[in-house]
Amino acid sequence: MKKLSGKTAIITGSARGIGKGIAELFSENEANIVIVDIIQDEINKTVASLKESNPNVIGIKCDITKEQEIENCVKNVIKQFTTIDILVNNAGITNDKLLMRMKLEDWQSVIQVNLTGTFLFTQKVSKIMIRQRKGKILNISSVIGLIGNAGQANYAASKGGIIAFTKSVAKELAARNINVNAIAPGFIKTEMTDKLPETIQEYYLKNIPLKRFGNIKDVANLALFLCSEDSDYITGQTIIIDGGML
Ligand code: NAP
C-alpha cells in the first residue's frame, strides 16, 4: 500500500516542469492522476508516459483562467474517478517587466493565471471536498511572494496573494477536514528558470547555502508529504524549499 493508493489527484500545469514531477511521484504512489494543462499535444505525451506504469491517468485540456472549462474539468474527473481527494494548484506563468514598463495587460495576465486560476480551481474543487468531508489542497507559491523581486511585481503580488489566500481558505475549510497548504520554492531547475540570464542564475547560486539549485524531485517530495496522511495536522502553512536561501 503506497501513500496515495486509491486517491484522485488533479495537478494543474502538469504537462511539464514541477507539475509533471509531482504527477510522476503521485503516480508512483498509486494515485489516480489528472493532468490539467493547455496544450493538448503536451498533455498527451505526459499522459502516455505515466500510463506505462499506471492505467489510472487521464489528461484534460483546461485553461485555469476560464471558469466554465474548470467546471467541465471537475465534472469530467468525478465521472471518471468518483472523488477528488487532492488538488495541486501548480500552473503559473511569469511576464517580467520593471514597474515603469509594465502594462496593465502584463500585470493582469500573471494575476489571472497564478492567483485567479488558483481561486477558481480551489472554489470548484472545494465544493466536492466539502461534500466528501475530506481533501488536500496544495498551492504552489514562490519565495518571490515572500521577499519580492525587481522586475517581478506582478509575479510577486500573485505569489504573495496565494500565501494569503491559502491561510484564509485553510481557516474556512478546516471544519470540513480539508487541509490547505502552500509551497514556496526558491530556484528550481526547470524550463521556466532556464530562460533566466546566466548572470541572474549565478547570482542566485551564490546566495544558496546548500550550493545547488533545487530539482523537481525536491519539490515533489514535499508535495507528496503535504498531500498524504502524514501531514493531516498541518494546515494554512507555507513551506519554503530553497536550499536555505531565505
Ligand atoms: P513551467 O515549466 O512553465 O510549467 C507550468 C505549466 O503550466 C506549463 O505546462 C504551462 O503551459 C501551464 N500553464 C500555463 N498557463 C496555464 C493556464 N492558463 N491553464 C493551464 N495550464 C497553464 O513552470 P514550472 O517552473 O514547472 O513552475 C510550476 C509552478 O512553480 C509555477 O506556479 C511557478 O510559478 C512555481 N515556481 C517555480 C519555480 C522555479 O524555480 N521553477 C520557483 C518558484 C515557484 P505552457 O506549456 O503553455 O506554458
Nearest to residue 161, comparing CAs of 121, 220, 119?
119
Burial class (CB in 10 A: 0-12, 13-18, 19+), 112: middle
Ligand 1 atom having least distance to the Cα of 143: 43
Tell me which CATH code domain 8-241 carries.
Answer: 3.40.50.720
* Helical spans, DSSP H, in 100-152: 104-110, 117-132, 144-147
Question: Contact 113/92 with Cβ under 8 angstroms?
Answer: yes
The Å distance, Cα 113 to ligand 1 centre, comes to 10
Find the largest Cα–Cα distance for the chain.
54
Within a 10 A sphere around the Cβ of 194, how many other Cβ atoms?
A: 8
Q: Are 83 and 8 in contact (CB under 8 A)?
A: yes
Nearest CA to ligand 1 atom 25: 192
The amino acid present at 177, given as its one-letter code, is: N
d(CA 134, CA 113): 26
Does residue 162's CB lie within 6 angstroms of at least one atom of ligand 1? Answer: no
Q: Give pLDDT, residue 191.
A: 84
Nearest to 128 by CA among 85, 168, 90: 85
Give which of 206, 98, 210 is closest to 156, Cα–Cα: 98
Condensed to tens digits (0 to 9), the pLDDT of residues 24-82 reads 999 999 999 999 999 999 999 999 999 999 999 999 999 999 999 999 999 999 999 99
Q: Which amino acid is at 162?
A: I
Nearest atom within ligand 1 for CA of residue 39: 47
**pLDDT tens sequence for the chain (246 residues):** 999 999 999 999 999 999 999 999 999 999 999 999 999 999 999 999 999 999 999 999 999 999 999 999 999 999 999 999 999 999 999 999 999 999 999 999 999 999 999 999 999 999 999 999 999 999 999 999 999 999 999 999 999 999 999 999 999 999 999 999 999 999 999 987 888 889 989 988 999 999 999 999 999 999 999 999 999 999 999 999 999 999
Sheet with strand 8-12: strands edge to edge: 57-61, 32-37, 8-12, 86-89, 135-140, 178-185, 238-241
Type of residue at 215 = N
Residue 72 burial (10 A CB sphere; 0-12, 13-18, 19+): middle
- Residue with the nearest Cα to atom 19 of ligand 1? 63
Q: Examine the residue annotation and report whether 155 is marked as an active-site residue of this protein.
A: yes
Is 111 close to ligand 1, i.e. is its CB under 6 Å away? no
Indicate if ligand 1 lies below 6 Å from the C-beta of 187.
yes
Q: How far is the CA of 93 from the centre of ligand 1 (A)?
A: 5
By CB neighbour count within 10 A (0-12 exposed, 13-18 middle, 19+ buried), where does 98 fall? exposed
Domain boundaries, the chain: 8-241
Best substitution site from 68, 93, 113, 219 to test ligand 1's pocket, by max atoms within 8 Å of Cβ? 93
Residue 63 Cβ < 6 Å to ligand 1 = yes
Kind and range of the H or E run holding 75:
helix 67-81
pLDDT reported for residue 25:
98
* C-beta 192 within 6 A of ligand 1: yes
